[in-house]
Amino acid sequence: MSDNTPFPITHWSEDDRPREKLALKGASALSDAELIAILIGSGSRNETAVSLSKRILASVGNNLNALGKLSLKQLVGFKGIGEAKAVAISAAMELGRRRRSSSVSELSKIVSSQSVFEIMQPVIGELQHEEFWIIYLNNANKVVNKSQLSKGGITGTVVDVRLAFKLAFKCNATGMILCHNHPSGMLTASDADRQITRKLKLAGENLDIKVLDHVIITEKNYFSFADDGIL
């Protein structure tokens, strides 16, 4: 039998069966490696799925956020991971990200720039490309909609001012908060960031829709134009 012959979970020792452990004790009782092992289903003749999962996690410093950033090409680079297993891992990481995002109510009230970060970090904080979003608010500063206005490369994105206000009228918004991410992790407003902020703010003043802030989001932190006094 070749080294790549699947070694099903049902053939493992009793202590190395994550599916059975989950059924008996619940998902919270499992380690990250055991949960990933359930996703990939089997290892090889010389390595269990748990051992393979531990090896993958070790390569990213046992950091699930870093694991979620691995491409399919990078995942299949691990011996024992084919395309199907790579897709399963990638899909699970994306579901986790979406769960975090959907846990924030669409009618949550914006009380500070921290509120903006909590809403948008799960959406754009870990992306490897730049996206520009707008949070639309009613008179009570409650979120009535949030929308991706543009999507770009690693260093920038193009913003359509007309589309921004078209969406504002559509949802009867009275206020807007601009948001975009910096994949580099830098929390410094560029000249382009300042320019689009001024442009949208001026347009909003003419249309009686206030631009209340512009928040730059990274994986772990944020920068607020309003807090910094440069809005």
Per residue of the chain (231 residues), what is the pLDDT tens digit?
Answer: 445 555 565 555 544 688 888 888 888 888 999 999 999 888 877 888 888 999 999 998 888 888 888 889 999 999 889 999 999 999 988 888 777 666 554 447 788 899 899 888 888 888 888 999 999 999 988 998 888 988 875 455 677 888 899 999 988 999 999 999 998 888 889 888 999 999 999 999 989 999 999 999 998 899 999 999 998
pLDDT value for 16: 63
pLDDT value for 1: 44
pLDDT value for 101: 63
Please state the pTM of the whole predicted model: 0.60
Handedness of CA 137, 142, 147, 150 (dihedral sign): positive
Q: For 139-153, b where at least 16 C-beta lie within 10 A, e where not — what string?
A: eeeebbbbeebbeee
How far CA 3 is from CA of 25, 48, 80, 120, in Å, comes to 32, 12, 9, 45
pLDDT value for 15: 44
Q: At what angle do helices 113-124 and 83-102 cross, to 10 degrees?
A: 160
Question: Which amino acid, 43?
Answer: G
Single out the residue of 122, 178, 112 nearest to residue 147, CA to CA. Answer: 178
pLDDT value for 122: 86
Q: What is the CA radius of gyration of the chain?
A: 22
Rounded to whole angstroms, the Cα distance separating 65 from 80 reads 22
Domains annotated on the chain, with CATH: 7-101 (1.10.150), 105-228 (3.40.140.10)
